[in-house]
Amino acid sequence: MGKRDEWIAKYAEDLKTKCGMTPDMDLLTKVTIGCGPSIYNADASTVAGSQPDELETVKNNYLMKKLGLADGPELMAAINDVIEVYGKSERNKYRAVVYYMLCKKFGKESVYS
């Protein structure tokens, strides 16, 4: 099992145990690949849920640029919902898991087909 596969398994475990959802492994793999080398960087691989500028970055770079969603208050509301599901007290909110949940929330799985 390669490094990326180990991370994907870790993300799947977080989705099951911390978020209470059964991951679509194919989509999770594609979202993880889409994150690129950031998954191997301790700082870049996680989302700081309590930092407004970090959440803005998720909104601008992922929701608007990658998923093609129009800006609006529902984007930040969705990010906050995902952070809430993941657990505000959870220290390591992995970027790939947050992106996966946002992708599912907006029904944008087709972006990864």
pLDDT in tens, 25-69: 999 999 999 999 999 999 999 999 999 999 999 999 999 999 999
Calpha distance 62→57 (Å, rounded):
8
Residue with tokens 């475990």: 13
Q: Is there a contact between 33 and 11 (Cβ–Cβ < 8 Å)?
A: no
| pLDDT the model gives residue 79 | 98
Cα torsion angle, 52, 46, 105, 62, sign: positive
Q: Is there a contact between 8 and 1 (Cβ–Cβ < 8 Å)?
A: no
Averaged over 72-86, what is the pLDDT? 97
Does 112 score more than 80 pLDDT?
A: yes
pTM exceeds cut of 0.85:
yes
Domains of the chain: 3-112 (1.10.238.120)
| pLDDT the model gives residue 91 | 86
Tokens for 56, please give them: 């803005």
Averaged over 84-101, what is the pLDDT? 95
Q: Give the length of the chain.
A: 113
Does 82 score more than 80 pLDDT?
A: yes
Q: Quick one: pLDDT band at residue 20, thresholds 50, 70, 90?
A: very high
Q: Quick one: pLDDT band at residue 1, thresholds 50, 70, 90?
A: confident
